[in-house]
Structure formats: structure tokens, C-alpha cells
Amino acid sequence: MSKRRIGVYICHCGGNISDYVDVEKVRRAVEEEGDVVVAKTTLFACSDSAQQEMMEDIREKGLDAIVIASCSPKLHLFTFRSMAQRAGLNPYQYVHVNLREQDSWTHTDDPEGATEKAIKLVRAGIRKARLSRPLQPLRVQTERAALIIGGGISGLRAALALADMGIHVFLIEKSESLGGWVARFKSLYPSNRDGQELINSLVERARGNERITIFTEASLVEKSGVVGDFKVKIKVKGEELTLKVGAIIVSTGFEEYSPSEGEFGYGLEGVVTLSAFKAMVENSRGSVKFNGKEVSSVAYIYCVGSRQNEGNTYCSRYCCNATLHTALMASELSPSLRQFHIYRDIRTYGKNELLYESASKKGSVFVKYSPEAPPSVVRENGRLVVKVRDLLTDGEELEIPVDLVVLVTGMVPPQERELLEVLKLPVGRDGFFNEIHPKLRPVETVIDGVFIAGAAQGPKNSYEAVASALAASAKVAGLVLKGYAELEPQVASVDEEKCEWCGKCLEACPYSAFERVEYRGKEVARVIEALCKGCGGCVPACPADAIDVKGYEDVAIREMIDGLLEEKK
Amino acid sequence: MSLVNPVFIDKIKRLGAFDINACFSCGNCTAICPLSDGENSFPRRMIRYSLLGLEEKILSSPEPWLCYYCGECSDTCPREADPGSLMMALRRYITRKYSLGRLADLFYSGLSSLTTWLLLTLMGVVGILLFHSQPNLEKVEPLSFISLDFLHKAGLVLGVFIGFFSLAQLLVMVRHLSMGKGYKRPTLRGLMRVLSREVFLQSRFRECEDRSRHLPHLSLFWGFSLLFIATVLAFGVDFFGFPPASKILARVLGLSGGILLLYGGGYFLLRRFRAQDYYSRRSHHTDWIFLLLLLLAGFTGLLLDLFHLLNLIWPAYITFAVHLVLVFDLLVSAPFTKFAHAIYRPLALWLSGY
């Protein structure tokens, strides 16, 4: 290995690191390392000025590798990669060392030890940098088409957005008709718009769009290929069909929580779910009626199926708003209707606060229960009675006689086992599909080219679902309109000289990214780079030691270990 | 377990708490109220009881009587729910509920109230028409028009009536309050404190940020009381043989009482008319009637004195008649109208350890 020119930057992280790690000592310890041309400390490596300085060093001192010892690569790996690129250094010749999560934050009680550890970590980084080679991202030609799974408001809106951008859309819906939940509601908060009308207008536009192909009673059965170039098999009314698409949007929505028998009196006559009550209100004429009888009082029990101690621990977000909106509709219909809202916390966020205010001014009474003492619903002498300890009234035990009890049921993820199996999408503890990062990458999944939209990701109301559908559409367009997709070059590669095909690598690979090819008269394995995720699962499986992951070669790892173990005064 | 009464709040709203539904239990009212302390979340607890219709809790609560309606709660309420109005509405509600045979109901809803006041006034007028005698037309001599004997008898009947109802209703109050959370065993010391601080000096008014009501209210109280004492004294000379000097004392007391009453009554009438303070912004008809009766009774009393002095024969007799009818209206209805706070409030204070 020829002489390298390495720059080392050690970040204070504004005290996060330097409060426990003597960064100056670290700098002094590593500046004498071989091939190190520059060693500096910096208050915030991620700041514009620090990046500028590093870029100048790269250019002026002709650095061919850099080590930045700062926070977790989760935070700034890409920041520094793009900095390197701008300075003309191949981004894969930059090595990230995590001195914060893996050192200073973990060893706040031992600054001296933390400093020692930091020196070793940086040394290991330098060793790796010394062996770094320039890598080029892999390119895949992208298909100008997308598959959308789920024809609710999110799927429909995403389909129109994509079609408008010139992308062909295959929209598959498992039921007979499009529209999902929104189509069932006659009045949506906060605009009071008719859900069916809203859906009809979207469906009409979608059906009239030549770039949108709609399949109802359809489901996804198989997916292969890579980001930008997927081959998907769908089953439409029993018939199988293969399509080529560049990206996939999953907008499979949610299901309503179904209370178990006896949960808050569910099963008793007059105990209904929110959606049932909403339908009742929407279909009543003159006044709110249940089984033909006029309803004079209602109690709503909030957070049914949401925010449970065990089970669904999340808040379903839409329910407070939807309940108060329905309560207002009900009081419009029956002005003398008495409404009791038995809640834990009212979360009518944003503009929806007005729903709470008007419901309250129109006579709705709010009773707050504690999760330790949830309300109970019984039928006594022919009347429904809600028993609850009211935190707003000195913890008074109340008995509220009502005609109807509405269980404000939350959202649960739909049971889509097959889809999960086909897409291998991770779900969170709540059972909804997981995004990569809630703030920074909210509609992307860890499966490249597969995006999530709407309530499939977690409880959302219709306008939030549409916003996320449009976000997913933008990400899809960004991917497929460019014409190609770039993939990480840190993939496996096979040394054909060493390889004698045995198939162990293919067995070990979760992505089937190996093929058997001829090489100088023998059979060897070759990596299908577009499929490889660089997980390294094949490396130890190879009996001939013929496989390496680029950027994480065995020799580099060994060097790093040596660097960590090196003892110097 | 307290049974919720979903329709109860309608009653309270009709009695003046129009906006109380807007309350969202933030507790600002409790934070600002000079009367709230660790164990007493004034006035929020009353709002909750009202919204939930916990009637028995309300009837056993002294809070509505302790409230001075300074309006600071209404002023700070972010929802403009006007908690102060609720406290006044609850007084009205409690006055109705405590009254024997629900007689007070007659005075609170529009039509029945109008009918009742007309009937009472008619009773007074008929009484005078039936029992008056030929007056002295040379010189104003009120007792030649309505005899002392009649006044004595009528006063006796009226006194027994008021006494009976007041006493009975106070017992009703004791029964309810003794079941409530705020009940404290009454002590003699407590009684003395209530009488001195709350009744005779009403110094708690000065704890309100706006102290402007203290003097007018005190004047109203003392004006009425002095006039009452003056009447008893004057009567005593003619009837019980009090020393004639009492008559001069009665005159002095009566005149000063009358002036105090006119000042206090006039002040509040003007405030209510202007409707700018929290306490005066929303006057219930019961507030108006009580105030007007007090003021007119005092006014006609002074007018009678003036006509007497000037020896204006018919004006004096007519004024006397009107005065008697007004006094009759005021007193006969006292146990059931806003007047009743004069007995309920001190008792509530005494039984809640204030």
C-alpha cells in the first residue's frame, strides 16, 4: 500500500463529547500515526464552517482519506459523505468514528477511560481509512411505473399525483370498491364534506386517467427485482398478472378496534362503537334514533382500544376529533340531547380544538377518568348506567344514566399477513408499518423502493393520510423519474480465483443475490449487485474465504482490531 | 355514588348561568378566587356539581352563600363561562329548594313571578281599602288613615308569617349543610365573628380587589336596619308606652336610615342599570325587584315625612298607602326572594366555620 494522506477530525460536539473525552489528548495521540497529515479538533464538525475547513484541507493538502470522530453515523454519515464528495474526495474514503453514543455518553463516570477508548477508536478508524478504496454507487435503470396497494383515500390521491407527474400507476384494491373508510362517512371533520362525494370525485378522475390502471378484488402475491426495477405478481379475481414497476406504495389503511365482549359493556343493548354511532347519526331523520326510539342521552367512553397498558399502547389520534364532530352533528339533530364525554385526555389538536369548544358550549359535559379506574357500563333496571370516578369533581363516584353508550374505538393495523410476507416490510410494536425515521424519512421503509402512505403507517385522519400519500408520491417520482437509481456500493464480491462453487453463499443469502457462472473453465459464484444489501451474511459461510464486502473487507476489519488493541504510552 | 341528572343544568341556566357549559375545568377561577383554599376549590367544584346535576351536593354546599361575586373568576375565565353568575344562579336555586312548600318557586319564573307580585300588591291594596278609616283632612296624621290597631295586627300576622318561614327554612338549611363536606360544628365564637365581621361590618367585601361595593352594601344593610329599629321605636311609643323621647330617636334613626338606604339602593340600581361590572352585568329579574322594592319603600317613607312636614294632605295619605303596600310586598316575600340571603348567608358562614 502506497503512502496515504489522511485527515483526522475530532469533534467536541459542543461538550457532548469533550465534557468527558479529552479531545486535545486524543488529537495529540493520533497525530503521529503513520499517514496522518492533518489532525484537528473542532467544536462542531457538522457546522458549515467546520465542513468548509475540512474541504479546504482535502483540496489543499491533497487528502485521500478522512476520519471524522463525532456522533453516531445515523446522524451525520451522509452529511460528511456529501462534504467529501463536494471536496472531490470519494465519499467511501471517509471513515466515521462514533465518539458520542459509543464513548462519551456511555462513560460519563470515567473521563480518563473514555479518553483512552477514544484514542483506540480513532486509531482503528485511521487503520480502516488507510485501506479505504474509492467506490462508485451501483446504478439501476428505473421503470416509470408504480404499484399502489390499497384504494382508500391515500392510495387514490397518490395514484392521481403520480399520474400527473407522468408515471404509470397500477392501483390494486382488495375489496370490490374503492374508497375505503372515507367512502363510508357522510360527513368528515373538520370540513363536514361528504366522504362518498370526495371519493367519487377522486375515483372519477382516476378512472378517466389513462395512466392509472385500477384493479379491484386484487392482491399482491409476489415481488422480485430491485429498487427501480421490481417485478410484481398480482392476483386479480383469481387470475395472476405480472407487472414491472419502479416503486411500490403501501396504503392499506387501518381497521377499527373491535372491543371484546363485555369490554366497557360491549355486547349490551345500546352499547355501540363510534363508527356505528356515526352511521346512526348520519342516517337519523329529525332526531337521533336508536332502534326507532329517540335517544335523549349519550355517554362516550374515550380511548377504547387505544393507550392501553398492554396491547395498543398508542393514541389513535383521530378519535377525539371524530367523536366531538359526531357529537356536534348529534346535537344539531337533537338539540336537547345530553352528551357525556368520559375521557382520559382530550386531544383535539390544531384547528380541531374548535370542535371541543363548540361541543362544550353546546352542552356536552366532560368527565375525566383515570386509567387506573376505568369506567364500567352496566344495565340496571332496564337503563344503561355508566359508573365512573370523575377526576374533575374531587374524584366523585358518578352514576350516569344514559340511553346509549358510544365506545370511542381506535385504529388498529389491518391483518395483512400475506402482504407482510411478500414485501418483508417491518412493522413496529404497534403492528403498523414502520418508516425509517419519523421526521427525516417519514414515508420510506427499509426496503428500498417500497413506501408507505396513510394510516397503514399508524393512526391518521383523512387529511394527514393524504399529506403522507403525497409525500410518498413525491419520493416515488424522485426515484423513477430520474431514470436510474443509485445503490450502495458496499456489496459483496467474490474472488473468482479462490471460489469453487459450493452454493453455501446462496444458501446464506436472504436476498438470493448470488448466481452461478462460468469462470475460466470452472463454476464460480457471482454477486448480483443490485440485489445484494451488503449484510455480509455470506462472508463467514464461504469455506474458501473467497467473499468480501466492499468497504468492510476482512483485512480492513483485522486492521481495525489491531488498531484497537494497540498499546502505546 | 352520586346519580347524575342530565337535565339539571337547564334549570340553573334559566336562573342566570347562561354560559356555564363553556367551562373546561382549567381551574383559573379557583386560582384567582380569594375564597378558595387547599380544601375548597372555589368556585370550580360548584361548576362541576351543576354540570353533572348533583343536586344534593349543591344543597349541602355553603359555597354559593360565601361568594361575594367580586367577578374576578369571571374576569379571568378563558372561556367566558362566567362562574360568578353561576354562584348567583345557585343561590336562587337553593332559595327555591329550601323554601317550605316550594313557595319560592312562585317568584322565579317569569309569568308566575309577575302574577305573584301582582296578587301580593293587590292584597295590600285591598287590605288598605278595607281597613282604612276617614283620615284627618285638616292636618296630616297618618295613623288617622290607617289605624295603629290595624298596623299592629297586620304587623303581628306578617311577623309570625315571616318568622315561621324563616325559622323553618333555616332549619332546612341546617339539615342540608350538616350533611355536606364543608360543615363545621357551630360555636358561639363563630357566631360572634359572623355577626360582627360579616353582618355588621361586612369587612370581607374589602378583600375583593374591587372594594367599591362595600360602603353601598353596608349602607343598604344599615339603612334598612335603622329604618326597622326606628319603626319599632316609633311604634313602641304609641303602643307599648316607650318614653316619648324615643320618638325623637326614632326620627333621627329613621332619617339617617332612609338616607343610607337611598344611597345604597340608588348606587346599586345605577350600577345594575349601567351593567358594566361583573355583578351588575347580568341582572336577574329577582335582583331588580328586590332592589326596587327596597329603594321605593325607603323613598316613599322619606316622601311621607316630607309631605307630613309640608302638611300636604292627600299626597301624604296616598304616599303612606303606597309605602305600606311596598313594605308589605317586601316583607311578605322576604323568606323567598333575594332578601333571604340576609339570613341564609350568615347561617351558611357560621356552619362552615368562617
Q: Where are the domains of chain B?
A: 8-98, 101-351
Q: A385: distance to nearest CA of chain B, Å?
A: 10
Which of helix, strand or coil describes residue A242?
strand
Contacts of A367 in chain B (CB under 8 A): 52
Cβ contact B79–A357 (<8 Å): yes
Which has the closest alpha carbon to B77: B117, B29, B12, B129? B29
Cβ contact B1–A399 (<8 Å): yes
Phi/psi at A404 (nearest 5 deg)?
-145, 140
Residue of A nearest to B13 (CA): A363
Residue of B3, B9, B22 lying closest to A361 (CB–CB) = B22
Axis-axis angle for helices B341-351, B148-177 (nearest 10): 30
Contacts of A392 in chain B (CB under 8 A): 25, 48
Axis-axis angle for helices B110-131, B285-310 (nearest 10): 20
Residue of B3, B22, B25 lying closest to A392 (CB–CB) = B25
pLDDT at A2: 63
Query: Which strands sit side by side in the sheet containing A365-368, from one edge to the other?
Result: A271-273, A404-409, A297-304, A338-343, A365-368
CB within 8 Å of chain A, chain B residues 51-90: 51-52, 54, 57, 79
Which of helix, strand or coil describes residue A39?
strand
| Angstrom distance (rounded) from CA B324 to CA B301 | 9
pLDDT by residue for chain A (569 residues), tens digit each? 468 999 999 999 999 999 999 999 999 999 989 899 999 999 999 999 999 999 999 999 999 999 999 999 988 999 999 999 999 999 999 999 999 999 999 999 999 999 999 999 999 999 999 999 999 998 999 999 999 999 999 999 999 999 999 999 999 999 999 999 999 999 999 889 999 999 999 999 999 999 999 999 999 999 988 889 999 999 999 999 999 999 999 999 999 999 999 999 999 999 999 999 999 999 988 899 999 899 999 999 999 999 999 889 999 999 999 999 999 999 999 999 999 999 999 999 999 999 999 999 999 999 999 999 999 999 999 899 999 999 999 899 999 999 999 999 999 999 888 898 899 888 999 999 999 888 889 999 988 899 999 999 999 999 999 999 999 999 999 999 999 988 889 999 999 999 999 999 999 998 889 999 999 999 999 999 888 889 999 999 999 999 999 999 999 999 999 999 988 65
Cβ contact A396–B41 (<8 Å): no
Cβ contact A387–B1 (<8 Å): yes
Q: In B8-147, which residue ranges form alpha helices assigned H by DSSP?
A: 8-14, 28-32, 44-52, 55-59, 63-66, 72-76, 83-98, 110-131, 142-145
User: How far is the CA of A233 from the CAs of A182, A446, B207, in angstroms?
Assistant: 28, 21, 81
Cβ contact B21–A399 (<8 Å): no
Give ∠ CA B273-B278-B279 in degrees, rounded to 5: 65
Residue of B4, B7, B19 lying closest to A398 (CB–CB) = B4
User: How far is the CA of A497 from the CAs of A500, A504, A524, A555, B269, in angstroms?
Assistant: 8, 17, 9, 18, 109
B225–chain A Cβ distance below 8 A for any pair: no
DSSP-assigned states of every residue in B19-40: TGGG-----HHHHH-TT-BTTB
Overall fold of domain B8-98: Fumarate Reductase Iron-sulfur Protein; Chain B, domain 2 (1.10.1060)
Contacts of A297 in chain B (CB under 8 A): 6
B46–chain A Cβ distance below 8 A for any pair: no
Q: Is the pTM of this model over 0.90?
A: no
pLDDT at B238 over 80: no
Which of helix, strand or coil describes residue B349?
helix
Q: Which three cell numbers stand for residue A306?
A: 387505544
Interface mutation target, options A368, A392, A402, chain B, most CBs of B under 10 Å: A392
Chain A residues at the B interface, defined by Cβ less than 8 Å, are: 296-297, 338, 340, 356-357, 360-368, 387, 390, 392-394, 396-402
Phi/psi at A12 (nearest 5 deg)?
-75, -25
Q: Which three cell numbers stand for residue B133?
A: 278609616
Report all structural domains of chain A as residue ranges with CATH numbers, in order of start: 6-135 (3.40.50), 145-254+413-485 (3.50.50.60), 257-409 (3.50.50.60), 492-549 (3.30.70.20)
Q: A375: distance to nearest CA of chain B, Å?
A: 13
Contacts of B21 in chain A (CB under 8 A): 360-365
Cβ contact A396–B79 (<8 Å): no
| Angstrom distance (rounded) from CA A78 to CA A83 | 8
Interface mutation target, options A396, A402, A403, A404, chain B, most CBs of B under 10 Å: A396
**Residue holding cell 473453465?**
A521
Q: B53, B5 in Cβ contact below 8 A?
A: yes
| Angstrom distance (rounded) from CA A69 to CA A45 | 9
Q: B196, B349 in Cβ contact below 8 A?
A: no
Q: A57, A63 in Cβ contact below 8 A?
A: yes
Cβ contact B7–A338 (<8 Å): yes
| Angstrom distance (rounded) from CA B327 to CA B298 | 9
pLDDT-derived band at B246 (thresholds 50, 70, 90) equals: confident
A475-484 residues labelled b (16+ CB within 10 A) or e (exposed):
bbbebbeeee
Which of helix, strand or coil describes residue A96?
strand
Residue of B nearest to A356 (CA): B24
pLDDT at B234: 83
pLDDT at A460: 96
**A290, β-bridge pairs:** A293
Cβ contact A340–B41 (<8 Å): no
Size of interface A-B (CB pairs under 8 A): 65
B9–chain A Cβ distance below 8 A for any pair: yes
**A343, β-bridge pairs:** A368
Residue of B nearest to A339 (CA): B6
Task: Give the residue-averaged pLDDT of B111-127.
Answer: 95
Cβ contact A399–B51 (<8 Å): no
What is the DSSP secondary structure assignment for residue A435, as one 8-state letter?
Answer: P
| Angstrom distance (rounded) from CA A414 to CA A458 | 11
Residue of A nearest to B26 (CA): A392
Q: B4: distance to nearest CA of chain A, Å?
A: 5
Cβ contact A363–B7 (<8 Å): no
CA atoms lying within 13 Å on the CB side of residue A476: 36
Residue of A297, A390, A397 lying closest to B6 (CB–CB) = A297
Interface mutation target, options B2, B3, B4, chain A, most CBs of A under 10 Å: B4
Q: Beta-strand (E) ranges in B220-322?
A: none
H, E, C per residue of A300-361: EEEEECCCCCCCCCCCCCHHHHHHHHHHHHHHHHCCCCEEEEEECCCCCCHHHHHHHHHHHH
